């Protein structure tokens, strides 16, 4: 049976950060990754659209204190401030919104977060963000659609109000021309990562942690598990002894929402009147409408990025990526009619589109986490080391401030490494 100092399960952002910290401390580690690639839910695909396309995580949010921002600069990744060029076109019933309508939309958005902050002190500790959200105005549903399904990948009613407010992100938001998945690949260079190594069972009751799977058995003095909460909640990874009930419950209290992403490639020179990085959206009557948002031609490339979140994304996910591609084209026809079809490569042409499939990925089972109403404390419960640091969990779901982001996953992985390294010192003292 192979042995190492610290075992890391998962080679996403949290696992890479943990492994780098362990190696920097002069300790041995082994990373076991179930997929045939590294990066987890950050994956840059380069071939299909003839350009880098991030199928999962896309931005370096809150870049002023995002630990990946300086690492990206040091790697020569050329971070780009997306906020500096943001613009958006909004359609109302198939026509462009008027200036007066856009002013009303902006006012409704400006009122959203203050209303939730005011409600936090008025509503009980189990309140959802949906209970506090403004309702009834002509643009309130559109704002709720953005703040819930589009940004958080879940409806507002499914999310704890306090956790929703505590995890709000500040600008700047950076894009990387080469993709954030590419950045993680570079940061993982030289680490001992075994891909295609599906961990089925972790025995952690003795002095050693033993991971078992088709690869055999590996023993370590401590282990850091970075698999998504949806995988833990499904029981896809068995623990012996069973995890404490509070930890098991935390995995269920931090479910993953779904944000599906698609790239659609242009057929010619028509760019639909949209500048590079321009946003495209439409007014909705209900938060849960299957409306899509788009970002046009990033970095001058010839593809649109489209996003569908929440329950609508889960429904289409069950039908497969082709259903998302068809839906995206239908959404564009709402704004541009037949011009949209002419502007895009035919759906059956090779390289015409590329879509994510996180909902059906057995090693993800969703996009990123939110806390159920009344369960915000679950992030701290899941992130607390067990057995003095012999078993630690890490990932974006464990971070109380930067949840649902690469930065949160990275910082959580580094924190878990410190706990595991501390256990090694205690063990040998």
Per-residue pLDDT tens for 314-364?
999 999 999 999 999 999 999 999 999 999 999 999 999 999 999 999 999
Residue 429 has a pLDDT of 65
- CA-CA distance, 265 to 148, in Å (whole number)? 27
What's the whole-number mean pLDDT along residues 155-163?
Answer: 98
- CA-CA distance, 59 to 188, in Å (whole number)? 19
- CA-CA distance, 379 to 152, in Å (whole number)? 16
Residue 88 has a pLDDT of 87
Residue 121 has a pLDDT of 87
Indicate the pLDDT class of residue 428, thresholds 50, 70 and 90. Answer: confident
What's the whole-number mean pLDDT along residues 401-425?
Answer: 98
Pairing of the two strands 209-213 and 199-203:
antiparallel
CA angle 184, 152, 296 (to 5 degrees): 70
Q: How remote is the C-alpha of 234 from its chain's centroid?
A: 19
Tokens found for residue 353: 């589109």
Average model confidence (pLDDT) across the chain: 97
Indicate the pLDDT class of residue 365, thresholds 50, 70 and 90. Answer: very high
**What are the distances in angstroms from CA 191 to CA 30, 203, 297?**
8, 24, 35
- For residue 47, count CB atoms less than 10 angstroms from its CB and return exposed for 0-12, middle for 13-18, buried for 19 or more: exposed
Q: Tell me which residue of 375, 337, 365 sits closest to 162, measured CA to CA.
A: 375
Indicate the pLDDT class of residue 427, thresholds 50, 70 and 90. Answer: confident
Give me the percent of the chain exceeding a pLDDT of 70: 100
Distance from the first to the final alpha carbon of the chain = 25
Residue 192 has a pLDDT of 98
Residue 173, φ and ψ in degrees, nearest 5: -115, 115
Instruction: Kindly state the helix (H) or strand (E) to which residue 240 belongs, with its residue range.
Output: strand 238-240
Question: Does the predicted TM-score (pTM) go above 0.85?
Answer: yes
Residue ranges of the chain that CATH labels 3.50.50.60: 2-78+179-255+368-428
Indicate the pLDDT class of residue 43, thresholds 50, 70 and 90. Answer: very high
In this model, does residue 407 exceed pLDDT 70?
yes
Q: Tell me which residue of 19, 67, 40 sits closest to 420, measured CA to CA.
A: 19
What's the whole-number mean pLDDT along residues 184-210?
Answer: 97
Q: Tell me which residue of 402, 376, 313 sits closest to 128, measured CA to CA.
A: 376
CATH homologous superfamily for the domain 2-78+179-255+368-428: FAD/NAD(P)-binding domain (3.50.50.60)
What's the whole-number mean pLDDT along residues 57-73?
Answer: 97
Residue ranges of the chain that CATH labels 3.90.660: 80-174+259-355
Give me the percent of the chain exceeding a pLDDT of 90: 98
- CA-CA distance, 263 to 258, in Å (whole number)? 17
Residue 22 has a pLDDT of 98
**392 touches 225 (CB < 8 A):** yes
Per-residue pLDDT tens for 3-37?
999 999 999 999 999 999 999 999 999 999 999 99
Tokens found for residue 230: 């949806």
CATH of 80-174+259-355, one of 3.90.660, 3.20.16, 3.30.70, 3.40.50: 3.90.660
Q: Tell me which residue of 30, 61, 82, 77 sits closest to 185, measured CA to CA.
A: 77
Torsion, CA 423, CA 425, CA 428, CA 429, rounded to 10:
-110
């Amino acid at each position: 049976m192979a042995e190492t100092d610290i075992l890391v399960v998962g080679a996403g952002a949290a696992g890479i950060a943990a492994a780098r910290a362990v190696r920097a401390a002069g300790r041995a580690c082994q990373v076991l990754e179930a997929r045939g690639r590294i990066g987890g839910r950050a994956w840059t695909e380069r071939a299909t659209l003839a350009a880098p396309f991030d199928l999962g995580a896309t931005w370096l949010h809150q870049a002023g204190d995002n630990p990946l921002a300086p690492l990206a600069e040091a790697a020569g990744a050329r971070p780009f401030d997306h906020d500096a060029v943001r613009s958006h076109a909004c359609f109302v019933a198939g026509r462009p919104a008027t200036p007066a309508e856009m002013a009303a939309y902006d006012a409704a958005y400006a009122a959203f977060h203050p209303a939730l902050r005011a409600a936090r002190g008025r509503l009980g500790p189990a309140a959802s963000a949906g209970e506090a959200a403004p309702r009834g105005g002509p643009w309130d549903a559109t704002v709720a659609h953005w703040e819930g399904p589009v940004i958080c990948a879940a409806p507002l009613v499914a999310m704890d109000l306090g956790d929703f407010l505590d995890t709000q992100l500040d600008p700047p938001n950076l894009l990387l021309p080469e993709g954030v998945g590419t950045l993680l690949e570079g940061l993982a260079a030289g680490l001992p990562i075994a891909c295609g190594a599906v961990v089925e069972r972790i025995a952690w009751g003795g002095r050693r942690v033993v991971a078992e799977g088709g690869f055999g058995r590996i023993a370590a003095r401590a282990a850091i598990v970075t698999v998504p909460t949806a995988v833990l909640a499904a029981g896809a990874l068995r623990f012996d002894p069973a995890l404490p009930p509070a930890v098991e419950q935390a995995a269920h209290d931090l479910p993953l929402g779904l944000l599906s992403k698609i790239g659609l490639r242009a057929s010619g020179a028509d760019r639909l009147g949209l500048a590079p990085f321009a946003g495209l959206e439409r007014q909705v009557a209900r938060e849960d409408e299957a409306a899509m948002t788009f970002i046009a031609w990033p970095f001058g490339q010839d593809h649109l990025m489209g996003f569908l979140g929440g329950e609508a994304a889960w429904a289409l996910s069950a039908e497969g990526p082709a259903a998302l591609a068809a839906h995206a084209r239908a959404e564009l026809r709402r704004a541009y009619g037949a011009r949209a079809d002419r502007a895009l490569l035919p759906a059956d042409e090779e390289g015409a589109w590329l879509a994510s499939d996180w909902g059906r990925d057995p090693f993800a089972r969703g996009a990123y986490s939110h806390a159920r109403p009344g369960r915000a404390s679950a992030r701290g419960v899941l992130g607390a080391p067990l057995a003095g640091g012999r078993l630690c969990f890490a990932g974006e779901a464990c971070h109380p401030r930067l949840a649902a982001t690469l930065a949160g996953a990275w910082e959580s992985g580094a924190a878990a490494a410190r706990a595991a390294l501390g256990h090694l010192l205690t063990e040998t003292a």
